[in-house]
Amino acid sequence: MTGLAEFSLDLDYLPRLPHDRSPAIGCIGAGFIMADCHLVAYRQAGFNPVAIASRNPDHARQVAERHGLTAYDGYHQMLENRDLQIVDVAVPPDVQFEVIRQIVERHGHIRGILAQKPLGVNYAQAAEIVRLCESAGIVLAVNQNMRYDHSIRACKSLLERRLLGDPVFASIDMRAIPHWMPWQQRQGWVTLRIMSIHHLDTFRYLFGDPRRVFASVRPDPRTAAQFEHRDGICLYILEYDSQLRAAAWDDVWTGPAREGAEADIGIRWRVEGTEGLARGTIGWPNYPHRTPSTLDFTTCHRPGYWFQPRWNEVWFPDAFVGPMAQLLCAMEQGTEPEISGRDNLRTMALVDACYLSVEQHRAVELSELLGES
């Protein structure tokens, strides 16, 4: 066994970057995620966004001026620019399918699409989006950006290096008040398909697909005053064939923090293994203050120590480099993206399984949604 001084904390917490960062990117949507996350991250990584369009042309022009892009009155007009190779689609999920269908059917020069999560409104629609893109030879990736949070990627590195041994139990504890989008009222969604999808996909990234899931929800009192919904506060347990159990509680109420009481807000995660323990925090709830996520871990391979690697990067906006980087890498190498549309179907199915579990008050096998025996 080597000495402590030789124990490397050089964890693989950053995404792979493409050699060629020049492919021209056209952006559809000019909301916060595009203007304050995607485009900021792309510029710092040296990617090449050149054009933008949204349903509000004035808004698109404002974002274009801020980021040095060309604004168009509509996305069809933008996509007539045959120099564009990639389209970054950041529109509401109930609009996304038609936008992607139009790209596929009318703009054959497009080689890659990065679609915002969720990929459509449900698994069935996501599967049709994947089919359309595959039939057209377009590389499809999905912006499941929590996989690129630096603490989550560092934890994945610990698992791959076997410093935690076999996973036994994992949890994510979210106590945060998100900013809900106006389009959510049209869907009647609050948490499962918008926030929990991050955590479900993260569990898949770290551990693979579970056998089944059991979910329980109740409305969020604060959001219920704005629109009717079921999936406010969400609890769910994932069961794996390996006996691993993963659980999350996504609490968007967190107590009356906006009604006069003191706030206790944060996101914590934990992975316990047979040979080590990792715990971390996600800095996102403190946005716009730059608060890096954190990781602490201990391992039987170096007993008696808590290791605390740290970095300067933050989830919002720095982690948004990752989804576009892996799309560019896939196009460059002729491979599947790390977060391909086809892989993301299993995350969408897991979300749908949670809704079915809530409706039927039972554990739902992932295979039921995927049509697998």
Instruction: Convert the pLDDT of each residue in 53-73 to its tens digit.
Output: 999 999 999 999 999 999 999
Which pLDDT score, from 0 to 100, does residue 2 have?
41
Which pLDDT score, from 0 to 100, does residue 373 have?
61
* pLDDT of 5 higher than 70: no
Indicate the angle between helix axes 341-360 and 123-136, nearest 10 degrees: 170
What is the pLDDT of the chain when averaged over all its residues? 95
Q: How far is CA 189 from the centre of its chain?
A: 17
Tokens matching residue 94:
């109930």
For residue range 278-307, what is the model confidence (pLDDT) as tens digits?
A: 999 999 999 999 999 999 999 999 999 999
CATH entry 2.60.40.420 includes domain 147-318+346-367: no
Please state whether the peptide bond connecting residue 118 to the residue before it is cis, i.e. omega within 30 degrees of 0.
yes
* pLDDT of 107 higher than 90: no
* Residue 237 · residue 247 · CB < 8 Å: yes
Rounded to whole angstroms, the Cα distance separating 266 from 296 reads 16
* pLDDT of 7 higher than 70: no
Distances (CA, A) of 183 to 58, 121, 148, 197, 201: 20, 12, 26, 17, 22
Number of Cβ atoms within 10 Å of the Cβ of 108: 12
Measure the CA angle with vertex 147, ends 318 and 368; round to 5°: 150
* pLDDT of 343 higher than 60: yes
- In the chain, where the domains are located: 24-145+334-338, 147-318+346-367
pLDDT bucket at 164, cuts 50 / 70 / 90 = very high
- Write out the chain in H/E/C secondary structure: CCCHHHCCCCCCCCCCCCCCCCCEEEEECCCHHHHHHHHHHHHHHCCEEEEEECCCHHHHHHHHHHHCCEEECCHHHHHCCCCEEEEEECCCHHHHHHHHHHHHHHCCCCCEEEEECCCCCCHHHHHHHHHHHHHHCCEEEEECHHHHCHHHHHHHHHHHCCCCCCEEEEEEEEECCCCCCCCHHHHCCCCHHHHHHHHHHHHHHHHCCCCEEEEEEECCHHHHCCCCCCCCEEEEEEECCCCCEEEEEEECCCCCCCCCCCCCCEEEEEEEECCEEEEEEECHHHCCCCCCCEEEEEECCCCCCCECCCCCCCCCCHHHHHHHHHHHHHHHHCCCCCCEHHHHHHHHHHHHHHHHHHHHCCCEEHHHHHCCC
Strand duo 294-299 + 276-282: pairing: antiparallel
Which pLDDT score, from 0 to 100, does residue 8 have?
76
* pLDDT of 215 higher than 90: yes
Measure the CA angle with vertex 258, ends 191 and 196; round to 5°: 15
**Rounded mean pLDDT, 139-149:** 98
Q: Which fold has domain 24-145+334-338?
A: Rossmann fold (3.40.50)
Is 9 or 31 the better-scoring residue by pLDDT?
31
Tokens matching residue 343:
């892989």
* pLDDT of 357 higher than 60: yes
Provide the sign of the torsion angle of the four alpha carbons 208, 209, 214, 217, taken in this order.
positive
pLDDT bucket at 3, cuts 50 / 70 / 90 = very low
The pTM score is: 0.96
Q: Residue 285 contacts by C-beta under 8 Å, 6 or more apart in sequence?
A: 176, 177, 265, 266, 267
